[in-house]
Structure formats: C-alpha cells, structure tokens
Chains A and B, each alone.
Chain A
Amino acid sequence: DARVTQTPRHKVTEMGQEVTMRCQPILGHNTVFWYRQTMMQGLELLAYFRNRAPLDDSGMPKDRFSAEMPDATLATLKIQPSEPRDSAVYFCASGSLAGGPQETQYFGPGTRLLVL
C-alpha cells in the first residue's frame, strides 16, 4: 500500500529557529505539492513541483519559506526564521499525471508545527 510519508509528525520550536519538514512522495509520482492547513485559512497550496522542478510557489511567503526537491524521493519545506503565525499542519501530497491531465493527489499524514 503506497503512501506519502512525512517527517517529523510533530514539531515544537521557538520563534526564530529553522524548521525543516520532509516528504517522501509515492514512488513513481512526479508531482509533489505542499499545503498548509490552519483553522482560519483552511487548506492553502504553498508550492508544487513536477519532475523536481518548481512550478508554482506563489502561495509561499518568499522571505522565510523555501521548498526544494533534492531528488525524486525527497521534498523539503524550510522555514527560517520561524514565527508563531507559522503554526499549522503542513501536508505534502503527491500525484502522477499518468499520461494525461487527470491527476489525483494523495496526501501524507502531515507535520503539526507549533512555534512558540
């Protein structure tokens, strides 16, 4: 049963610290998405990659957030420096075009981040 994995599952840190979240997409999936979920804003798309290339990061605060895909099996989302307003659940999702535009995204378990 292929799944998206995310680490860590929970992270508590202090304001100003760097936070790195990792995602392992489903093997063979060529698209990776990062979402943030908060009570106030709901689910927001932060950034996504296809074939490891960033396609859209318009939803991401550029000054402190960065997303990368060092290889096809790893996507990272970094926050530096972190702020209390970054507290949220961060979900990674992966998908595969499977030869057409019909894509289904499969979500990981999320990283629950609390910045004090």
Chain B
Amino acid sequence: AQSVSQHNHHVILSEAASLELGCNYSYGGTVNLFWYVQYPGQHLQLLLKYFSGDPLVKGIKGFEAEFIKSKFSFNLRKPSVQWSDTAEYFCAVTPYNTDKLIFGTGTRLQVFP
C-alpha cells in the first residue's frame, strides 16, 4: 500500500537554527508532493508543492523542499527558523493518476526563543 513516512515525530529547535524535516514515500510511479503546515488550533495550509520541473521547490515563509526521485524523498528545509514556525508539518503525496492525498503522520516542531 502507498504510504508516507515522516520519521521525525517531534523536533525542538532554538530560533535561528536550521531545519530539515524528512519525508519518504512508497510509490514507484509519478507523484505530486506537498507540504502542509498546521499552526496550533488552525487548519492545514499549503506550504509548497511539487508537480514537475525543478526538484528544488520554494514555498511560503522561507521554506523550501527538494524532491530526490532516487530516494523517494521530499524533505522540507528552512535555513533559520523563527518562534512563529512552531506548528505541525505534514508531508503528503498524490500518486499521479489518483485524486487521494496520502498524508504522513506529521512532525511537531517547537521553536524556542
């Protein structure tokens, strides 16, 4: 079955530290890839997405992600986190010929001032 793995369940950082959240998926074909963020008590918001083209995707709020097809990975990065980045981050995948978003279990990020 198709699945998405986020191995970091809880990440704690100080402000200005660099961030990398891992995401791996299991699907051999073409995929669309997404990162969503959920701030405390709020709904999911799209951070960035990859459909095709340049595997390095830039999103909102200084986030970026790199699609590495050979590793089935789509890791999220930010060079310098802020306290306001405290949230839960979800990686999601849609196999190319389907409609369903398959979500990872999420990574909870806490940033301390």
Q: Residues on A close to B: CB < 8 A? A: 31, 33, 42-43, 45, 48, 50, 55-56, 91, 93, 101-110
Contact = CB atoms under 8 A, between A and B. Distances in A.
Interface string B19-49: 0000000000000101010000011111001
B72 interface: no
A88 B101 CA distance: 19
Given A42-B106, A107-B44, A107-B45, A102 B100 contact: no
Contacts of B43: 91, 107-110
Given A42-B103, A103-B94, 6 more contacts: A42-B106, A101-B32, A101-B96, A104-B34, A104-B46, A105-B101
Contact of A33 (B90, B101, B105, B106): B101
A45 B44 contact: no
B83 interface: no
A31 B94 CA distance: 14
A24 to B, nearest CB: 14
Interface string B84-113: 000000100010110111011110000000
Contacts of B36: 107
Interface residues of B, number: 21
B32 to A, nearest CB: 6
Nearest to A43: B103
Contact of B100 (A42, A56, A110): A56
14 contacts: A42-B106, A43-B106, A45-B100, A48-B99, A50-B99, A55-B99, A91-B43, A101-B97, A102-B32, A104-B46, A106-B46, A107-B45, A109-B42, A110-B43
